[in-house]
Amino acid sequence: MAAMGQRFAVLECVQKIEDIPIKYQILKQCSPSVMDWYVQKYNPFTVSPIQLAGEEGLRVTLPMTEDELRLYPDKREAVTAATLQALRDYRVDILLPPKAYPMPFPGDIPVATGQTAFAFFLMPAIQRALRTQSKDVKNAEILIIGAPDGLTALVLDRIYPHVNYLSLLVPQPEDVFAFAQKSEDIFAECGLNLHVTTKNKAMLECADVVINLSESDTRHAYYYQRGAIYFDLSKNRRALMELIGRRDDLIAIDSLQLTYRAFTYVLAELELILFVKSMDCRDLMLYPYNPAAARRLSRFIRTEGVEIRSFRCLDKTLNHTYFRGALGGTL
């Protein structure tokens, strides 16, 4: 189902301050504070057409460098607010923020984070990652760290039909009861015993694959087994960096590079495309979880022939050296 008339915007930063389009060139010779004042008052961003997978959208270049985005929150907020108002005037339905933008991105325009798209590629990604360890998914212990929300429900439905050992770690005791009916339904459908709990050290230590949907998972850092495959969908970059800093023996993956119609995209870019092309993707991102929409979107993705090209973590493509390093050279 195509989402007709949807329009996207890809936001990026200028490479250097000199690239900011200034009407009065003499301002470039003024002090940085004058330039900052001008940028915050007039927001001289640029807009150009862009096409992704046959869909028309906008490329929006913000009048800030990536370093400025990270270091100057007041300036970032002023530029973002002015840009969002302009994007509403352009009738933009979804946007992709600059990579350096601290999440969550503000405003009321939907944002492509890659989380929804990731759910539909988790199973083939798990199988591919386990093969590097000569393991089979049917014998692997899979652990989801989630909560009673739509993303956890989506990931759970994408995973449980394909595995034999599946556990779900939730933050509060009452969250366990929220999954009671789902656990019964899964057992009745395929005989899988979904183990739902709030904390279980043995569960964490036994997991071959961890799928983290929580923004604060660093508290479990020292429980994971060496060489565990860690898929991070939390979009908490700082927490992931902290986890990797503590446990460089984990195989951490927070995105994928995919091939679609002879071009390569990262997950957030693909999610942007799917939002425009499919009403089901739009429904999953904007409204309460709908299993029927998830099944239709899964079929659409298969029909479109999207394939995983490589794993990524913190904006870097992972190679076989990375996998060997995490396992101490055993591959």
Q: How many helices (H) and strands (E) does the chain have?
A: 14, 14
- 194 and 214 co-located in one domain: yes
CATH number at residue 151: 3.40.50.720
Domain boundary among 78, 95, 111: 111
Q: Could you tell me the pTM of the whole model?
A: 0.90
- 128 and 208 co-located in one domain: yes
Distance CA 21, CA 9 (A): 19
Backbone φ and ψ for 238, nearest 5 degrees, come out as: -65, -45
Range of the domain at 248: 116-256+308-326
- Mapped onto helix, strand or coil, the DSSP state of residue 318 is coil
- CA-based nearest residue to 130, from 327, 302, 329, 305: 327
Domain boundary among 91, 111, 131: 111
pLDDT of res. 328:
46
Buried b (16+ CB within 10 A) or exposed e, 45-64: beeeeeebbebebbebbbbb
Residues with Cβ within 8 Å of 87's Cβ and at least 6 positions away in sequence, in order, are: 9, 58, 60, 95, 109
Residue 287 lies in a domain: no
pLDDT of res. 217:
66
> Pseudo-torsion of CA 294, 296, 302, 306, nearest 10°?
-60
pLDDT of res. 23:
73
Q: What is the mean pLDDT of each run of 10 residues along the chain (331 residues)?
A: 66 91 74 83 92 94 94 93 94 94 90 97 96 94 96 98 97 93 96 92 93 82 92 92 92 96 96 96 97 98 96 89 53 32
pLDDT of res. 319:
79
- 78 and 197 co-located in one domain: no
Distance CA 141, CA 166 (A): 6
pLDDT of res. 17:
85
pLDDT of res. 91:
93
- 171 and 122 co-located in one domain: yes
Q: Are strands 255-260 and 263-266 parallel, antiparallel or unpaired?
A: antiparallel
Residue 292 lies in a domain: no
pLDDT of res. 329:
36
Beta strands in the chain (DSSP E): 8-13, 46-52, 55-62, 94-96, 141-145, 165-169, 195-197, 209-212, 229-232, 251-253, 255-260, 263-266, 307-313, 316-317
Distance CA 88, CA 95 (A): 11
Domain boundary among 41, 76, 111: 111
Residues with Cβ within 8 Å of 129's Cβ and at least 6 positions away in sequence, in order, are: 209, 229, 251, 253, 311
